[in-house]
Amino acid sequence: MTASSKELSQEALNLASFSFSLEQKTALFTQLKQQRGILFQRDIIALCNEHKLTETQLLKACVPVASLFSVAPISQFYVGAIALGINQQGETQFYFGANVEFTHQALSLVVHAEQSAINNAWLNGAKSVIKIAISDAPCGYCRQFMNELDTADSLEILLPEKHFSLHDLLPNAFGPKDLGNEISLMSQSASTHQFSGISNACDETLIKTALNAYVPYTGNFSAVKISTYHDGDFYGSYAENAAYSPSLSPLQSALSQFYLSGLSFDDQTVKSITLLETEDAKNQLEVAKAVLASFENPPAFEYITAALIK
């Protein structure tokens, strides 16, 4: 049974507001960049004890920090979101996210903050998302994206002044089961697929990330690797949606992870980008080209396709 919007809103009113000071926000932002946008359970416990907060109070207080990761050159509207997820060890973690925009490209290519937070949880092995706190009310696009989660029926949405269930904000929803899909985002078991004819030199993590893609509608198991000169590698995976449009491309997924480290996408930072996708279902090359065209001096780009063994 899910809580009603009235009950959730009353809970919001009962929680005394708390805000970090500018110095505290700066320190937390620095820490989160080093942890690639994740606040671990040990951090959550320490902050709750230090400031005498409940977990939910801390979650909401952290949202303005999430907004600091926003890259919004078009709208100048900085949105932050945090997914409260449970990892494979049963620990609570906060997965941060923020909106990412691309200049001179279709607005449909942007990454919404809610997508970013859920993507962060998914790529980092969370087994479920229980709540999501957002700086502003989620648009219909994001409500549809959240409806792909396996916890959609019980998902709580925390706004600054009110709390809702996803069902309150998206009644009579269209979802995976309407297309005959019995799985949902973050409900999948380990992939049993393999690629054939792929070079032994191909990054094993990139292959694994591609095979773990959520692609029930096209079967295009695909992923992107962003290689940097000094800050390691960042991976993104393709996450599809029953309504199709809210799907998150592997390059958008990887770029969202990249920006959650507080990095700048420039030729002094990014060395190369690699896209891997399934030969018989490929559909991501033109999307990747469009996104990369928004950057000055885009990095070297490698494109790999491979046949899938089911």
Which of the pair, 243 or 191, is modelled with greater confidence?
243
Per-residue pLDDT, averaged over 179-193, amounts to 85
Query: What is the C-alpha to C-alpha distance for residues 115 and 141, in angstroms, rounded to an integer?
Result: 10
Residue 91 one-letter amino acid: E
Sheet with 38-39: strands ordered across: 38-39, 92-98, 80-86, 128-134, 156-158, 163-165
Choose, from 55, 101, 114, 279, the residue flagged as catalytic.
114
Percent of the chain with pLDDT over 90: 89
Per-residue pLDDT, averaged over 21-26, amounts to 97
Nearest to 226 by CA among 269, 185, 187, 180: 269
For residue 14, is pLDDT > 70?
no
Q: Would you state the pLDDT for residue 70? A: 98
For residue 187, is pLDDT > 80?
yes
pLDDT band at 199 (very low <50, low <70, confident <90, very high): confident
Q: Would you state the pLDDT for residue 197? A: 83
pLDDT band at 79 (very low <50, low <70, confident <90, very high): very high
Secondary structure of residue 72 in the 3-state scheme: coil
pTM given for the model: 0.94
Per-residue pLDDT, averaged over 71-86, amounts to 97
pLDDT band at 1 (very low <50, low <70, confident <90, very high): very low
Q: Identify whether 55 is a catalytic site residue.
A: no
What are 15-23's contacts with CB under 8 Å, separation 24+? 15/54, 15/56, 15/57, 15/60, 16/57, 18/51, 18/53, 18/57, 18/58, 18/60, 18/61, 19/61, 19/64, 20/61, 20/62, 20/64, 20/65
Return the residue matching tokens 């799985």: 183
For residue 56, is pLDDT > 80?
yes
Q: Would you state the pLDDT for residue 5? A: 53
pLDDT digits (tens, 9 = 90+) for 113-131: 999 999 999 999 999 999 9
Quick one: CA dihedral 224, 229, 233, 236, positive or negative? negative
Query: What is the C-alpha to C-alpha distance for residues 12 and 60, in angstroms, rounded to an integer?
Result: 10
For residue 139, is pLDDT > 60?
yes
What's the mean per-residue pLDDT of the chain? 93
Q: Would you state the pLDDT for residue 248? A: 98
